[in-house]
Amino acid sequence: MSNEQNAAPLNAGQGPRLSGRRIVITGAGSGIGKAVAELFAEHGAALALLDLNIEAALPIAQGSGGVALRVDVADETSVNGAIEAAANALGGIDGVVNAAGVISVGSLEATDLQSWRRQIDINLTGPYLICRAALPWLRQSALATIVNIASAQAFRPVGASCAYAASKAGVLNFTKALAGELAPAIRANVVCPGIVDTPMVAQVSKAAGNPASTPTLKDYPLARMAQALEIANAILFLTSNESSYITGAALAVDGGRTFH
């Protein structure tokens, strides 16, 4: 069989880019996850939207012909139940986007074990549990994709955020390991945003109280925060057939902060 016969069909930018795809999105209740959900719904995907707070995600899920499910991504039983319910509601799973995440800014001395574990559990163990639970259904899909969300902190940590940086560096290498293990049947890529105008970032900035503890816009050549939709557009590309020859990539969507 030729390489052309093996290649996924390209959409070439015409019409809905996710028509017929069944996608699970975590963290879909706010921020980047919600922006991804709204964009994917516009592009024809049927969605299973997972979050602890599903009220904001529910109308998006219903509009896509999908479902919103309350889940704790750090709890194996909760994840397994939610993924099974998602697969049943959608009739299978073609893709996963892991957008759920938390951050607690603080120096090493100020980061107690509870805070460390919470960030590792949600940011790193969460994607592991979701991907592992979804794997049997992803294996049944012809064009399966995984997109995890790490951070520019995975490339170049800035400020007092050791637990967050460690968790996101873990997500980056976890995704690369998945890409190697699951190829060629399943593509896995990771998006690494810089500072994004989301409720989480606003809350962290307010709580930090110390400008030295968080990146500032002087670190960004584009001199502004990203909008959540700008990150969602990158995730859409990596989920669509337009990225059919891309796996194991770590895409910095960070206004030039890392220049890696």
95, two tokens: 């893709």
* Whole-angstrom distance, CA of residue 172 vs CA of residue 67: 28
CA distances from 174 to 40, 184, 216 (A): 24, 17, 28
Chain Cα centroid distance, residue 135: 16
Chain Cα centroid distance, residue 27: 8
Q: Which position has the token pair 């060629």? A: 184
164 is catalytic: yes
Residue 181 CB coordination number (10 Å)? 9
Please, are residues 141 and 92 in contact by the beta-carbon 8 Å criterion? yes
Consecutive H or E run containing 138: helix 126-138
Query: Which of 128, 164, 220, 245 is flagged as catalytic?
Result: 164
Residues forming the active site: 164
